[in-house]
Amino acid sequence: MSLLFQPITLRELPIPNRVWLSPMCEYSAVDGLPNDWHLVHLGARAVGGFGLVMTEATAVVPEGRISPQDTGIWNDEQTAAWKHIVDFVHERGARIGVQLAHAGRKASTFRPWSPVTGTVPVADGGWPTVGPSATPFPGYDSPAEMTPTQVADVPERFAAAARRALEAGFDTVEVHAAHGYLLHQFLSPLANTRTDEYGGSADRRALLVEETVRAVRSAWPEDLPVLVRLSATDWLEDGLGVDDVAAVADRLGGLGADLIDVSTGGVAPASIAVGPGYQVPHARRVREVSGLPVSAVGLISEPAQAEQILVEGSADAVMLGREALRDPYWPLRAANTLREKIGTLPVDSGVGMQPQYSRAQWR
């Protein structure tokens, strides 16, 4: 059996294969509520054979949304809406996780296809933003520097969202500490110029991330995994590098993180040499230093390429983003390309191809 289609177990959660759907914002919610778009988007990938389906960045508080159209998980109505989607994915035999997020200074922005860019004015449905410091992301409004009380409240907001995620039936939660959003802002010296206990040295800048992971782990069942997405480099000379982030990942493992979802960039505009698998070496380095399982993401498009990433020990799973948008059935195609037969056992076994699609099986 190819490694790509071997199951992996995190804590006591078996995941049927190592082809996972990366979190991708759909900018299609109203008042934080997931809807039929999210059901079809996530459900189609479960039908398509992805072993773990991750939601988009889902805000833990209203002001934590990247855009007014982002999903949330801060109230009962949202929790119930997510449960409907979770149940459908489970019926297809896949696992599902929610990415818990707070956008910080990158919140309240227009969605990508809007004719205007930047921060949404309050009069148009936006809100004032906050961050570790009053330094804005280029092109956005300046955030208010968070008070010590506001900072101290962040871990509990993430923990409360995790408890709601459990109520909705999610199999795992992912703490979003990447792509220039709030927790990454605290980590990076490019966004954090605080002089209190949450700023200054690398250890102090990492404190909020560590407190948040600890709080989420305490709120989450011991038998289910907690994932953390980290940007392994800021791609800028004065920003975070992969060894800095690998050291953080090592400490997060001691606090209960079970897998690091390794991405890069986002805290400030940077010139990035993009190519197939360009972030994979960063995933490998985080894996080597932390000893934790990792997932790799970033222009992974071909089955043989994905298989090789696992064979060479660079990652334990691959996350597909844009490729999954182009082809929601990528895992079925990959199995056919690799001449891998996917079992047609009942979906409650946690593995298997949908019987309606069994004719797509390699024979």
pLDDT in tens, 259-292: 999 999 999 999 999 999 999 999 999 999 999 9
Question: What radius of gyration do the chain's Cα atoms show?
Answer: 19
Q: 28-48: per-residue pLDDT in tens? A: 999 999 999 999 999 999 999
Tokens matching residue 206: 């990492």
Domain with residue 153: its CATH number is 3.20.20.70
pTM of the complete model: 0.96
Does the structure show a pLDDT above 80 at 349?
no
| SS3 letters across 45-112 | HHHCCCCEEEEEEEECCHHHCCCCCCCECCCHHHHHHHHHHHHHHHHCCCEEEEEEECCHHHCCECCC
User: Residue 75 belongs to what domain range?
Assistant: 22-38+57-81+97-320
Q: Cα–Cα–Cα angle for 290, 291, 292, nearest 5°?
A: 85
Per this entry, what is the length of the chain?
363
The DSSP bridge partners found for residue 295 are 261, 317
**Closest residue by Cα to residue 230 from 279, 192, 179, 168:** 179
How many Å apart are CA 83 and CA 39, to the nearest integer?
Answer: 10
Contacts 24+ apart (CB under 8 A), 74-80: 74/32, 74/157, 74/160, 74/161, 74/164, 75/32, 77/33, 78/32, 78/33, 78/34, 78/164, 79/164, 79/167, 79/168, 80/168
Residue 246 lies in a domain: yes
pLDDT of amino acid 339: 87
Residue 224 lies in a domain: yes
Residue 6 lies in a domain: no
How many Å apart are CA 76 and CA 60, to the nearest integer?
Answer: 12
pLDDT of amino acid 357: 76
The DSSP bridge partners found for residue 174 are 99, 227
Please state, in angstroms and as integers, the Cα–Cα distance from residue 223 to each residue in 6, 7, 11, 38, 240, following that order.
Answer: 21, 17, 5, 27, 32
Residue 9 lies in a domain: no
How many Å apart are CA 281 and CA 362, to the nearest integer?
Answer: 32
Residue 47 lies in a domain: no
Domain count, the chain: 1
Dihedral sign (CA 349, 2, 45, 318) = positive
Q: 286-322: per-residue pLDDT in tens? A: 999 999 999 999 999 999 999 999 999 999 999 999 9
How many Å apart are CA 50 and CA 109, to the nearest integer?
Answer: 30
Tell me the residue ranges of DSSP E strands in 232-273: 259-263
Please state, in angstroms and as integers, the Cα–Cα distance from residue 281 to each residue in 108, 141, 264, following that order.
Answer: 33, 34, 11
Residue 284 lies in a domain: yes
Q: Which of 181, 198, 278, 357 is catalytic?
A: 181
pLDDT of amino acid 348: 43
How many Å apart are CA 332 and CA 356, to the nearest integer?
Answer: 13
357 is catalytic: no
Cα dihedral 82, 56, 251, 61 in deg (nearest 10): -70
Residue 245 lies in a domain: yes
Q: 209-252: per-residue pLDDT in tens? A: 999 999 999 999 999 999 999 999 999 999 999 999 999 999 99
How far is CA 53 from its chain centroid? 10
Query: Residue 362's pLDDT band (boundaries 50, 70, 90)?
Result: low
pLDDT of amino acid 354: 75
**142 class by beta-carbon count within 10 Å (0-12 exposed, 13-18 middle, 19+ buried):** middle
Helix or strand run (H / E) with residue 333: helix 330-337
Residue 148 lies in a domain: yes
- The per-residue pLDDT of the chain, averaged, comes to 95
